[in-house]
């Protein structure tokens, strides 16, 4: 006679990845070529610890891509033999290199003269554990490299500039359609290249982006912050392209701050300031020339109160 147990049976795999861009979403496609079943959580950096704690006992294995855990969480995982054997973290942000001190984490920002992304680091792991032909196709390798180039702005040749097209298609398609589209794309194509129709859609999106950037530039505020001359813009879209364009054009500024009032803050520059260090002052992190942080808590309520002096905001239930 079997003894009843209340212990929940562990699921096979949970993939936790970054919600924001192709570098966080493409690992979902790669995982689908490598594992029969897995669950996905797409998160922002500040959400990882809490969600990880909720799921550590629910899965046999947990992969974290393009996201960090806090050092406190890293210590807890490393001190637990079961947890450190089930968690695998793949990141590329310079500010998170300290996580390499922990056995479960692999943070590579650059190797063999090229910058790495979350997607490329995860791909390099998967091709060593899976023999699925889809994972090894040239179209898959092409997608991975295009995502790596645009996420790290590792433009070494004119051909590399085509990686901007990935961002354009991601904006057009949205997260789930991007996953569905490129999954089928890889299944049906041997090499990575766009049709005339796709190139037409990309051109329309780039024209829209250029108009958006021009308008945001007109609205840019210049200021002094922490001893630095900075440009500040409020923008919800095209933040990487906007930040890099403004940082390149306005050499008189040390870096650019892009505020998405509904989500987060981005910092973009060109070698004048280590923005991974600067972002840490505000609870964030990232790369030397591209970093970010979360918005202050209750910011939207505070802004609303600033606009409407007599408003009474109801508490969330």
User: Can you tell me which residue has the tokens 């021009």?
Assistant: 214
Q: What is the pLDDT of residue 142?
A: 95
Q: What is the pLDDT of residue 180?
A: 96
Residue closest to 163 by CA, chosen among 62, 18, 22, 31: 22
0.85 surpassed by pTM: no
The answer to whether residues 131 and 37 touch, using CB atoms and an 8 Å cutoff, is no
pLDDT band for position 237 (cuts 50, 70, 90) = confident
Residue closest to 255 by CA, chosen among 281, 282, 280, 226: 226
Residues 145-185 pLDDT 10s: 999 999 888 888 888 888 889 989 998 999 999 999 999 99
User: Can you tell me which residue has the tokens 């922990």?
Assistant: 102
**CA 72, CA 109: separation in Å to the nearest integer?**
22
Phi, psi of 44 (to 5 degrees): -95, 160
- Coil, strand or helix at 64: strand
Mean pLDDT, residues 87-113 taken together: 93
**CA 169, CA 173: separation in Å to the nearest integer?**
6
Domains present along the chain, CATH in parentheses: 11-193 (3.40.50), 213-302 (3.10.310.30)
Q: Of all residues in the chain, what percent carry a pLDDT higher than 90? A: 60
**CA 42, CA 31: separation in Å to the nearest integer?**
14
**CA 46, CA 67: separation in Å to the nearest integer?**
9
**CA 93, CA 170: separation in Å to the nearest integer?**
21
Residue 1 has pLDDT above 60, yes or no: no
pLDDT band for position 5 (cuts 50, 70, 90) = very low
Mean pLDDT, residues 11-20 taken together: 92
Residues 200-209 pLDDT 10s: 999 999 999 9
The separation between CA 309 and the C-alpha centre of its own chain, rounded to angstroms, equals: 37
Mean pLDDT, residues 216-243 taken together: 91
Q: What is the pLDDT of residue 189?
A: 93
As a dihedral over the C-alpha atoms of residue 41, residue 43, residue 47, residue 52, rounded to 10 degrees, the angle is: 30
Residue 246, both tokens: 């403004």
């Amino acid at each position: 006679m079997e003894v009843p147990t209340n212990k929940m049976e562990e699921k096979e795999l949970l993939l936790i990845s970054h919600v924001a861009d192709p570098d966080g979403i493409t690992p979902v496609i790669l995982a689908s070529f490598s594992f029969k079943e897995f669950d996905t959580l797409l998160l922002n950096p500040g959400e990882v610890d809490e969600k990880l704690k909720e799921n550590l006992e629910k899965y046999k294995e947990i992969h974290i891509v393009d996201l960090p855990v806090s050092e406190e969480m890293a210590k807890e995982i490393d001190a637990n033999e079961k947890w450190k054997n089930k968690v695998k973290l793949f990141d590329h942000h310079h500010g998170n290199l300290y996580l390499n001190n922990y056995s479960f984490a692999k943070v590579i920002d650059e190797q063999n003269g090229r910058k790495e992304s979350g997607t490329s680091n995860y791909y390099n792991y998967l091709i060593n554990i899976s023999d699925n032909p889809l994972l090894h196709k040239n179209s898959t390798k092409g997608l991975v490299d295009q995502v790596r180039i645009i996420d790290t702005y590792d433009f070494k040749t004119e051909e590399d500039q085509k990686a901007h097209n990935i961002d354009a298609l991601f904006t057009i398609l949205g997260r789930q359609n991007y996953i569905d589209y490129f999954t089928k794309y890889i299944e049906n194509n041997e090499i990575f290249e766009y049709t005339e129709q796709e190139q037409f859609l990309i051109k329309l999106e780039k024209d829209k982006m250029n108009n958006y950037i021009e308008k945001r530039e007109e609205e840019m505020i210049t200021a002094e912050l922490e001893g630095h001359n900075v440009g500040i813009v409020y923008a919800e879209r095209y933040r990487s392209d906007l930040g890099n364009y403004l940082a390149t054009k306005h050499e008189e500024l040390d870096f650019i701050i892009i505020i998405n009032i509904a989500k987060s803050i981005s910092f973009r520059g060109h070698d004048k300031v280590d923005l991974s260090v600067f972002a840490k002052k505000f609870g964030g992190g990232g790369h030397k020339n591209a970093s970010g942080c979360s918005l202050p808590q209750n910011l939207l309520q505070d802004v609303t109160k600033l606009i409407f002096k007599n408003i009474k905001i109801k508490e969330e239930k």
